Amino acid sequence: MLEVTDLLVRYGAVQVVHGISFEVKAGEVVALIGANGAGKTTTLAAISGLVRARGAVRLEGRDILGRQPHQIVRAGIVQVPEGRAVLARMSVEENLRLGSRDGVAEAYARFPVLRDRRAMPAGNLSGGEQQMLAIARALLARPRLLLLDEPSLGLAPKVVAAVFGVLAELKASGVTMLLVEQNAARALRLADRAYVLELGRIVISGRAGDLLGDERVARAYLGA
């Protein structure tokens, strides 16, 4: 579904992604894990067209690198940004309608808490509910590939579990996802495969289950 080849990103004179290559197959959940500043967000931003990059990004065979962000959304890649980025003063329902005018009822069926809160300003939702809203809004655009940037960021452990429960349901329904997470343990338990990013380079990759048992990953990222 997604094939990233020799992706290279620099901010001014500073190169932060050093020619990485990876892929996401249809129906897969792939995690990009790594410490703060490893280049995870930058990699997603390059795929979404939010930062300029070199190399190739192919969605189902078509190179989309260099296209405008709105064209990339239309091609089928939708990102749930870090920090959720819901529009605080607009209602839950207005936020959803930004994703699409159709399908809001479907979103409520999947996220009943959003139906209960539909008239409330999105800024009044809890962090977990805002994350659900951001995910629901992204799904309304009917993505071929969903990019998620740190969905657990700043959430209490119980809420993180709820958000990952939603992601597991999406996975079970066949949604293809590329997930960036500092919570490596959670990400690896959800994902099929994963790549470990360090200072803009992929240093380890493999099946998520194997990475969970990998001593280097455990020492650096699982607090073991």
Q: How far apart are CA 175 and CA 168, in angstroms?
A: 10
Q: Please name the residue that has the structure tokens 């239309």.
A: 74
Of 6, 11, 142, 213, which one interacts with ligand ATP (CB under 6 A)?
A: 11
Can you read off the two tokens belonging to residue 138? 């992204």
CB of 35 to ligand ATP, least distance (A): 7
Q: Pick the closer one to ligand ATP by CB: 41 or 95.
A: 41
Q: How many residues does the chain have?
A: 224
By CB under 6 A, which span of 34-42, 57-65, 91-99, 100-108 interacts with ligand ATP?
34-42
Q: Pick the closer one to ligand ATP by CB: 108 or 195.
A: 195
User: Nearest 5°: phi and psi at 164?
Assistant: -70, -25
Of 7, 24, 31, 39, which one interacts with ligand ATP (CB under 6 A)?
A: 39
Residue 142 binds ligand ATP (CB under 6 A): no
Q: Which of 67, 86, 87 lies closest to 77 in space, CA to CA?
A: 67
Amino acid at 218: A
CB of 58 to ligand ATP, least distance (A): 21
Q: Alpha carbon of 203 to those of 19, 35, 101, 106, 183: distances in Å?
A: 12, 12, 42, 40, 18
CB of 124 to ligand ATP, least distance (A): 26
Can you read off the two tokens belonging to residue 125? 């939702």
| List of residues contacting ligand ATP (CB under 6 A) | 11, 14, 16, 34, 36-42, 182
